[in-house]
Amino acid sequence: MLVVDDCDDTRELYQVLLVDAGFAVDSAADGLAAISCVERDAPSVIVTDLGLPDGGGLALCRELRSRPASVSIPIVVVTGHAGAKEKALLAGASHFLAKPVDPDLLLAVVREAATSGPPH
């Protein structure tokens, strides 16, 4: 599992939630660090914000979808930009949640993404 968010508190909150649920979790604060994490150890699911400092989450989704090693990794977008759902899905996200997100909903979506396989 990879959590990508430029907010340290949000990243830590998601990490604790996911680790407590039994997932192994890595994290990144921007898209470049996320790409490095994916290249080093392909996660089963990526949870990302759209508001990243180096091009944003939409660019990260597109980049991940363009790479053979990450084309089939489910991407869960969790963002405060509720109006960006269509753009996120078109960029390659498999799931979209608007902040503030309910922790139980986030866990349910991540579990579903982890077991559903590649995005359609």
**Each residue of 54-102: pLDDT tens digit?**
888 999 999 999 999 899 999 999 998 878 889 999 899 999 999 999 9
pLDDT score for 119? 57
Work out the average pLDDT over 14-23: 96
pLDDT score for 103? 95
**Each residue of 38-47: pLDDT tens digit?**
999 999 999 9
How many Å apart are CA 53 and CA 37, to the nearest integer?
A: 17
Ordered domains of the chain (ranges, CATH):
2-115 (3.40.50.2300)
- Residue (of 109, 66, 61) closest to 86 by Cα position: 61
Q: What are phi and psi of 34, to 5 degrees?
A: -65, -45
Report whether pLDDT(23) > 70. yes
- Return the bridge partners of 3, or none: 27, 47
Report whether pLDDT(37) > 50. yes
Report whether pLDDT(21) > 50. yes
Work out the average pLDDT over 49-56: 89
